[in-house]
Amino acid sequence: MARGRLSPERLTRAGAELADEVGFEQVTVSEVARRFDVKVASLYSHLKNSHDLKTRIALLALEELADRAAEALAGRSGKDALTALANVYRDYAREHPGRYAAAQFRLAPEAAAASAGVRHARMTRALLRGYDLTEPDQTHAVRLLGSAFHGYVSLEMGGGFSHSAPDTQETWTRVLDALDALLRNWPRTP
Protein backbone atom coordinates (compact mmCIF):
# COMPACT_ATOMS: atom_id res chain seq x y z
CA MET A 1 0.00 0.00 0.00
CA ALA A 2 1.35 3.42 -0.88
CA ARG A 3 2.44 5.65 1.95
CA GLY A 4 0.45 8.70 1.02
CA ARG A 5 -0.90 10.90 3.75
CA LEU A 6 -1.57 9.05 6.99
CA SER A 7 -4.63 9.81 9.09
CA PRO A 8 -6.55 7.99 11.82
CA GLU A 9 -9.34 7.27 9.31
CA ARG A 10 -6.99 5.84 6.70
CA LEU A 11 -5.20 3.73 9.29
CA THR A 12 -8.54 2.47 10.64
CA ARG A 13 -9.68 1.45 7.15
CA ALA A 14 -6.37 -0.32 6.56
CA GLY A 15 -6.75 -2.07 9.92
CA ALA A 16 -10.30 -3.14 9.01
CA GLU A 17 -9.11 -4.57 5.69
CA LEU A 18 -6.31 -6.37 7.51
CA ALA A 19 -8.81 -7.77 10.02
CA ASP A 20 -10.89 -9.20 7.16
CA GLU A 21 -7.78 -10.82 5.69
CA VAL A 22 -6.00 -12.23 8.76
CA GLY A 23 -8.49 -11.98 11.62
CA PHE A 24 -9.27 -9.19 14.05
CA GLU A 25 -7.09 -10.63 16.81
CA GLN A 26 -4.04 -10.43 14.53
CA VAL A 27 -4.39 -6.68 13.90
CA THR A 28 -1.63 -4.58 15.44
CA VAL A 29 -0.14 -1.16 14.82
CA SER A 30 3.01 -2.97 13.60
CA GLU A 31 1.05 -4.87 10.96
CA VAL A 32 -0.66 -1.69 9.76
CA ALA A 33 2.70 0.10 9.60
CA ARG A 34 3.98 -2.69 7.33
CA ARG A 35 1.05 -2.05 5.00
CA PHE A 36 2.10 1.55 4.61
CA ASP A 37 5.81 0.70 4.54
CA VAL A 38 6.48 3.10 7.41
CA LYS A 39 8.02 2.77 10.83
CA VAL A 40 5.65 1.98 13.70
CA ALA A 41 6.67 5.20 15.46
CA SER A 42 5.24 7.25 12.60
CA LEU A 43 1.75 5.89 13.36
CA TYR A 44 1.77 6.93 16.99
CA SER A 45 0.94 10.52 16.09
CA HIS A 46 -2.36 9.12 14.75
CA LEU A 47 -3.01 6.15 17.07
CA LYS A 48 -2.27 5.61 20.75
CA ASN A 49 -1.65 1.87 20.51
CA SER A 50 -3.11 -1.38 19.15
CA HIS A 51 -6.06 -1.15 21.54
CA ASP A 52 -6.90 2.28 20.13
CA LEU A 53 -6.68 0.87 16.60
CA LYS A 54 -8.96 -2.04 17.50
CA THR A 55 -11.44 0.32 19.14
CA ARG A 56 -11.51 2.43 15.98
CA ILE A 57 -12.07 -0.68 13.83
CA ALA A 58 -14.89 -1.77 16.15
CA LEU A 59 -16.53 1.65 15.88
CA LEU A 60 -16.21 1.54 12.08
CA ALA A 61 -17.76 -1.94 11.96
CA LEU A 62 -20.66 -0.91 14.20
CA GLU A 63 -21.28 2.12 11.98
CA GLU A 64 -21.22 0.05 8.79
CA LEU A 65 -23.58 -2.52 10.31
CA ALA A 66 -25.97 0.18 11.56
CA ASP A 67 -26.07 1.82 8.14
CA ARG A 68 -26.84 -1.49 6.47
CA ALA A 69 -29.47 -2.35 9.07
CA ALA A 70 -31.20 1.02 8.73
CA GLU A 71 -31.38 0.60 4.96
CA ALA A 72 -32.64 -2.99 5.24
CA LEU A 73 -35.28 -2.16 7.86
CA ALA A 74 -36.76 0.87 6.11
CA GLY A 75 -40.47 0.26 5.53
CA ARG A 76 -40.46 -3.23 7.02
CA SER A 77 -42.15 -4.66 10.10
CA GLY A 78 -42.81 -7.98 11.81
CA LYS A 79 -41.15 -11.05 10.39
CA ASP A 80 -40.02 -9.16 7.30
CA ALA A 81 -38.06 -6.74 9.51
CA LEU A 82 -36.72 -9.55 11.68
CA THR A 83 -35.45 -11.43 8.64
CA ALA A 84 -33.94 -8.29 7.11
CA LEU A 85 -32.04 -7.44 10.31
CA ALA A 86 -30.82 -11.00 10.80
CA ASN A 87 -29.61 -11.18 7.21
CA VAL A 88 -27.68 -7.93 7.60
CA TYR A 89 -25.62 -9.47 10.40
CA ARG A 90 -25.11 -12.77 8.60
CA ASP A 91 -24.19 -11.17 5.28
CA TYR A 92 -21.83 -8.68 6.92
CA ALA A 93 -20.06 -11.51 8.78
CA ARG A 94 -19.59 -13.39 5.53
CA GLU A 95 -18.32 -10.35 3.64
CA HIS A 96 -16.21 -8.89 6.46
CA PRO A 97 -15.30 -11.59 8.98
CA GLY A 98 -12.66 -9.50 10.72
CA ARG A 99 -14.87 -6.44 10.98
CA TYR A 100 -17.73 -8.60 12.23
CA ALA A 101 -15.43 -9.88 14.98
CA ALA A 102 -14.45 -6.27 15.70
CA ALA A 103 -18.11 -5.37 16.22
CA GLN A 104 -18.03 -7.72 19.25
CA PHE A 105 -15.00 -5.96 20.77
CA ARG A 106 -15.61 -4.73 24.30
CA LEU A 107 -15.64 -0.94 24.25
CA ALA A 108 -15.06 1.44 27.13
CA PRO A 109 -18.43 2.66 28.47
CA GLU A 110 -18.06 6.17 27.04
CA ALA A 111 -17.05 4.82 23.61
CA ALA A 112 -19.95 2.36 23.64
CA ALA A 113 -22.43 5.09 24.56
CA ALA A 114 -21.23 7.24 21.64
CA SER A 115 -21.04 4.36 19.16
CA ALA A 116 -23.45 3.11 16.52
CA GLY A 117 -24.22 0.27 18.92
CA VAL A 118 -26.87 2.59 20.33
CA ARG A 119 -28.47 2.74 16.85
CA HIS A 120 -28.48 -1.06 16.71
CA ALA A 121 -30.36 -1.24 19.99
CA ARG A 122 -32.87 1.41 18.86
CA MET A 123 -33.52 -0.37 15.57
CA THR A 124 -33.99 -3.69 17.31
CA ARG A 125 -36.38 -2.11 19.81
CA ALA A 126 -38.32 -0.51 16.96
CA LEU A 127 -38.57 -3.91 15.30
CA LEU A 128 -39.87 -5.38 18.57
CA ARG A 129 -42.64 -2.79 18.84
CA GLY A 130 -44.14 -4.62 15.87
CA TYR A 131 -44.44 -7.61 18.17
CA ASP A 132 -46.11 -5.51 20.88
CA LEU A 133 -43.32 -6.02 23.40
CA THR A 134 -42.77 -3.51 26.19
CA GLU A 135 -40.16 -3.29 28.93
CA PRO A 136 -38.62 -5.32 30.45
CA ASP A 137 -39.56 -7.87 27.79
CA GLN A 138 -38.04 -5.71 25.03
CA THR A 139 -34.65 -5.86 26.72
CA HIS A 140 -34.92 -9.63 27.13
CA ALA A 141 -35.89 -9.98 23.46
CA VAL A 142 -33.04 -7.68 22.29
CA ARG A 143 -30.62 -9.93 24.16
CA LEU A 144 -32.22 -13.07 22.75
CA LEU A 145 -32.03 -11.83 19.15
CA GLY A 146 -28.44 -10.68 19.54
CA SER A 147 -27.49 -14.03 21.04
CA ALA A 148 -29.30 -16.03 18.37
CA PHE A 149 -27.91 -14.02 15.44
CA HIS A 150 -24.36 -13.92 16.75
CA GLY A 151 -24.37 -17.50 17.96
CA TYR A 152 -25.62 -18.89 14.67
CA VAL A 153 -23.30 -16.73 12.58
CA SER A 154 -20.28 -17.57 14.73
CA LEU A 155 -20.95 -21.31 14.60
CA GLU A 156 -21.60 -21.21 10.87
CA MET A 157 -18.47 -19.13 10.16
CA GLY A 158 -16.42 -21.53 12.28
CA GLY A 159 -17.60 -24.49 10.21
CA GLY A 160 -19.77 -25.89 12.99
CA PHE A 161 -22.63 -26.77 10.64
CA SER A 162 -20.63 -27.91 7.61
CA HIS A 163 -20.59 -31.60 8.43
CA SER A 164 -24.25 -32.48 8.15
CA ALA A 165 -27.48 -31.88 6.29
CA PRO A 166 -29.69 -29.93 5.93
CA ASP A 167 -28.14 -26.91 4.27
CA THR A 168 -27.34 -24.02 6.63
CA GLN A 169 -29.65 -21.66 4.68
CA GLU A 170 -32.57 -23.98 5.41
CA THR A 171 -31.68 -24.02 9.10
CA TRP A 172 -31.27 -20.22 9.13
CA THR A 173 -34.76 -19.83 7.67
CA ARG A 174 -36.19 -22.20 10.28
CA VAL A 175 -34.40 -20.34 13.10
CA LEU A 176 -35.94 -17.07 11.92
CA ASP A 177 -39.37 -18.71 11.68
CA ALA A 178 -38.97 -19.94 15.25
CA LEU A 179 -37.83 -16.53 16.51
CA ASP A 180 -40.80 -14.88 14.81
CA ALA A 181 -43.19 -17.39 16.42
CA LEU A 182 -41.56 -16.86 19.82
CA LEU A 183 -41.79 -13.07 19.55
CA ARG A 184 -45.46 -13.26 18.50
CA ASN A 185 -46.18 -15.49 21.51
CA TRP A 186 -43.81 -13.93 24.04
CA PRO A 187 -44.67 -14.97 27.60
CA ARG A 188 -45.91 -11.90 29.44
CA THR A 189 -44.15 -10.78 32.60
CA PRO A 190 -46.39 -11.49 35.61
d(CA 37, CA 54) in angstroms, rounded, equals 20
User: Is pLDDT of 56 > 60?
Assistant: yes
What is the tens place of the pLDDT at every residue in 35-48?
A: 999 999 889 989 99
Sign of CA dihedral 80, 82, 84, 87: negative
d(CA 18, CA 112) in angstroms, rounded, equals 23
What's this model's pTM, rounded to 2 decimal places?
Answer: 0.92
